[in-house]
Amino acid sequence: MISIHEAIELILDKIHPLPTEIVLLGDAVGRVLRMDVDARRDIPPQDNSAMDGYAFAYPEDAQEPLTLEVIDFIAAGHRPSQGLQPGEAAKIMTGAPVPDGADTVIPVEDTEAEGITVTFQRIPKKGANIRLAGEDVKEGEAVMSPGVKIRPTEAGMFAALGRSVVSVSQRPRVAILSTGDEIVEIDEAYAQGKIVNSNAYGLAAQVTQAGGVPVMLGIGRDSPEALYEILESARLCDMVLTTGGVSMGDRDFMLEVFEKWGVKREFWKVSMKPGKPVAFGMKGRKPVFGLPGNPVSAMVAFEQFVRPALRKMLGFERLFRPVFTATLAPDAGAVRAKVGRTEFVRCSVEYDGGQFKIVSVKKRGSGILSTLVEANGLMIIPAASEGVEPGGEVKVQLYDYELIEGADPGW
């Protein structure tokens, strides 16, 4: 049995980013950029007005108020019909190109127009209200590098650069197999002794949230032949997840089947709770995880091991959930732990006055899925610790960030 840190290190040492693919810009948000992006042109391409107003040449020696002759009207998307001479102005709309001879724009609300003239009481600072060519990016400038996560802001920049397709990491196709004669599908009639296949759907949601594409293999029955046959259908996937059958029961066949399928096992059993009976190995370049059958154990093990592996395959540099220091509230009670294993305790965390506070601790049974629903984080009790007392500080891994979303603007 190895420590959780050793397990993570072994896994990530075997994982490599997937090849690239070209996708439409609209499908690129949330993906990892795998190309250098340079500006093909200046943005903006020419000086333009930042205001609806009047463009004119700044008069170095003029007296206020200033009256100018209006000789042109320039709408956004249209070019000036002529340049300006001293004493002339052009009415201009936001985004319209500034005419030759002009270097300043005054907002329309600061002017008084009469006939073919415009007057303003105060002359703005030279260069006011003009967006200069290349002010955003200049032609040939490096704008983005590989490894960047494409957010809405990056998508907007790609559009501004005139790029409609993007090179990104491929999304891993993750085969998901639940095992056990006791497992039934959601819509099957309930029968005594049967368990609904919640693991597959919970794991599929975790895979999707991490950026992968879940491929449901169905349910594998408790025989080596049946399990081997269904694993064969995962050959074209980039990763395999199984749940159940990795412990030491008479009908736990997954380790045997993995070996027959050509999986080189790296470890089996991790010093953690929940999630101890985790197996990991490689079939060529394909990572294979044997997760526990208990739903909480499977989902917690996914967060610690599978999610970082998926993110590395996707090309992310930041692989792990955020971990914060939180204070155990008095009403939450003491948390006891067994020395020698890292324990992940389901808990509810609140963000109060700039600090994280654990306000309740959930039941610790590995089959009680509702406790994960009620919680938003996992309290991390180190292997060397016997637990934490009320008022004590402990690290918390958040898997739900709603607690730091604002109910009001907060400014």
* Strands (DSSP E) found in 83-124: 88-92, 104-107, 112-114, 117-120
Distance set, CA 122 to CA 58, 187, 364 (Å): 12, 75, 72
Helix (H) or strand (E) holding 351: strand 342-352
The 10s digit of each residue's pLDDT in 136-160 is 999 999 999 999 999 999 999 999 9
On whether the CB atoms of residues 55 and 104 are closer than 8 A, the answer is yes
pLDDT score of 189: 79
DSSP letters, 127-184, are TTTEEPTTSSB-TT-EEE-TT-B--HHHHHHHHHTT--EEEEEPPPEEEEEEE-TTEE
Tokens of 242: 């199984």
- Angle at CA 365, nearest 5°, toward 364 and 371? 65
pLDDT score of 352: 83
pLDDT score of 88: 97
- Angstrom distance (rounded) from CA 318 to CA 308: 9
- The three-state secondary structure class of 82 is coil
Q: Is the pTM of this model over 0.85?
A: yes
Low pLDDT (below 50) residues in the chain: none
